[in-house]
A and B are shown apart, each in its own frame.
Chain A
Amino acid sequence: MIADVTWTVFLSERMGELWLRTGEHLMLTGVSVGLAILIGIPLGILAAKVRWLRGSVTGGVGIVQTVPSLAMLALLLTLLGKIGTLPAIIALTLYALLPIVRNTLTGLRAVPTAAVEAGRGIGMTPGQRLWLIELPLARPVILAGVRTAAVVCVGIATLSAFIGAGGLGQFINRGLSLSNNRLILLGAVSAAILALLVDGALSALQWGLKRQRSQGRRGRPALDRVLRPLAVAAPVLLVLLGAAAYAATRLNNSVDAWGAGDSQGPTIRIGAKNFTEQFILGELMAQMIESHADCNVDRRFNLGGTMICHRALVSGEIDLYAEYTGTALTVILKEKGLADPDGIHQAVANGYRRQFAAEWLGAFGFNNTYAVTMRRKDAESRNLRSISDLAKHAKDIRAGFTAEFSERPDGYPGLRKAYGLRFGQVLDLDPALMYQAVEKGEVDVICAFATDGRIAAYKLKPLRDDRGFFPPYQAAPVVRRKTLQDHPEIREALHRLAGRLDDTTMQRLNYEVDEKKRAPADVAREFLTQRGLLNPGDQTH
């Protein structure tokens, strides 16, 4: 695939996955809205009937609504210690509650008192009044609430890809990570169309349930008799259609999807963080395992950061991923930096063996350290070579850092202490966007990754870490001990990658994906084939 393939080619290549993600998206939304209806309508009734509960119920669901969606997902992730569908469904259900509860309450309170009093007068029990009078009369308002909830859910569900729950957000996330606008558009436009479809299906339900005025003796037209039940079933049909699309694509096996699907052979789940290099490393490891070990691979890529990957590994939701020694030492083990690459590999390997029942295998060979980086032109004109040089001008400098760098002990907080510097302005930037931002002059300094191909492509200059603040960041596979015990061939398969990727090679691979917009899987396959690392007799996986 080259950079400017046409949209038709792009779409036809993605069609299989598009169905799968749409199916996932619909199921996520359907299940969540379904749960929210089951919880929300009784809550709304309770709030309508029990006056002293009204404040706490509406207040409670209202507060849930004010929690930003990403924060909610992160929070649930911590509380449940799980990635995937469960936290996503809980979060979506919580968001769907407010419109449903509020509309149930409003709808019930708007029921004409004359009708309720009449029900009382002819001897209805409170339950009969609710069931026969109040709920039917409140139904249009309640349904409107369900519609709002469903449309909101389709939107928020795009964020659940962030925690590995799949859905159309997967395209958006991957597009952001790979700075690929087509992928972003594919996800966003599909989600918007899906929202319209869901809204349409629920509006059909509303129409189907409405009892039409009879106007005298005319019976129901035959067409009407067919259409109405169909309209009532529309939302369910839509969700079933999603489930069918999902099942069909999974069965076809046309997509590398996560989730245990294949019947033959064990499945190894490989994680990756949310940036290009991690995707490539994940692919390299996946293809090696597929080629040399008799295992299926489930790619759970694009997990939102170090902590999420780490937790997923410890809880057993993934079997392995590529981690960096310096990151493991400072962020996970929370120890002081070490300068010696072999010493640090030894240190993290020991720490992980003791604390997390996980093994560090041989490093890939490159050191993806943080590099305080600026435009080469500026560095030369101001004669800046090292971070110490930069520290003198720090006040006038605008820095753009990733959110993770701003918080990590081996990031900006440590850097400030080590060099006694404080930048005039610090912006949080997405890892995929910061290179452009510094190239276009929107910031002056970024925390680039040393192996990023865009450093060279954008004419940027990494400044020397003259005080040796950053520890080495040797990337290496981290694997659960249990996985290695069950499948010792994985160790061998991954060992073949050890020392194969030096800094320049990794930069080149990253560049192929970031700038030439090639798929990480293709870039990885090409590399492995060129180096003769794939099992020649076993290319069919």
Chain B
Amino acid sequence: MIVYQNITKSFDDCVTHAVNDVSLDVRQGETLVLLGSSGCGKTTLLKLTNRLLDPTSGTVIVDGRDVASQDPIALRRKIGYVFQGIGLFPHMTVEENVAMVLRLQGQSRRERRRRAHELLEIVGLKPDAYGRRFPSELSGGQQQRVGVGRALAADPAYLLMDEPFGALDALTRDTLQQELLALSERLSKTIVFVTHDIFEALTLGDRIAILHAGQLEQVGTKSEVLRSPATPFVRDLFAKPAEQLAAFQEML
């Protein structure tokens, strides 16, 4: 379980706040989506989880312990992270990328290889065909599969995903979303997923937290946020795409 308690983060000595007094729980085994437009503070909140950033005030609790008291290196190794963009290491093969966390943990070359192949199977890449390639030799969707594989390498209980499918075309994104759903059910990970895409949020999220200008507008299940929006912002957020969708359906 991840608990955010009264989190505030400012990058300019409290002139402006990227995250402003946010309190939020992520329950064991659920996928929580942080939804909001760019600049709303969702990526900042994600980075506060594994101490890529430290909060200006407030507490983040992972596994019942305040992260401020945990070694950031050890913390990051037990939390999988999938990066915005892709963030693969361009000078390493797919296998090496996927097994990097295991290498940091000091596992043997043979064990790393075995596990890398296993992980590539999990994310739907044939190890024999892709393991020895470099990231630049893969398509965007394939690269992102490698990114997910890398995050899963140490079999972490938590997975942080920062707009992982943002740069992909609609069809590839859909495929990967479906696979992630299947994956999260099978592996029962606790996932915090950042996106600005409402449909992605509705597809993937067990619960959705809507952020706006650094503040938490509402957190709830799909039906809660759709049926009883807590603020006008939340209502507008879903109303607009619904109108567009209706118009689109009429055209069909």
Contact = CB atoms under 8 A, between A and B. Distances in A.
Given A213-B137, A214-B132, A217-B129, A122 B81 contact: yes
Nearest to A140: B91
Given A211-B134, A217-B129, A123 B87 contact: no
Contacts of B129: 216-217
A216 B50 CA distance: 36
Interface stretch (B1-9, B69-77, B110-118): B69-77
A395 to B, nearest CB: 71
B87 A115 contact: yes
A120 B47 CA distance: 11
B147 to A, nearest CB: 8
A81 interface: no
B85 interface: yes
A123 B75 contact: yes
A125 B85 contact: no
Given A123-B76, A124-B104, A115 B90 contact: yes
Interface string B79-112: 0010101111111010000001100100000000
A154 to B, nearest CB: 30
A142 B128 CA distance: 34
A133 B89 contact: yes
B222 interface: no
A128 interface: yes
B133 interface: yes
A121 B74 CA distance: 11
A118 B132 contact: no
A413 interface: no
What's the interface size class on B, roughly?
20 to 34
A121 B133 contact: no
B182 interface: no
A137 interface: yes
A414 interface: no
A217 B128 contact: yes
Nearest to A211: B91
A117 B83 contact: yes
B212 interface: no
A540 interface: no
Contacts of B73: 123-125
Interface string B141-170: 000000000110000000000000000000
B91 A121 contact: no
B117 to A, nearest CB: 14
Contacts of A216: 129, 133
A215 interface: yes
A136 interface: yes
Contacts of B68: none
Given A114-B85, A214-B132, A217-B128, A123 B91 contact: no
Given A128-B104, A217-B129, A122 B150 contact: yes
A115 B74 contact: no
A112 interface: yes
A397 B81 CA distance: 83
Given A123-B101, A213-B134, A217-B128, 4 more contacts: A121-B76, A121-B83, A214-B133, A216-B133
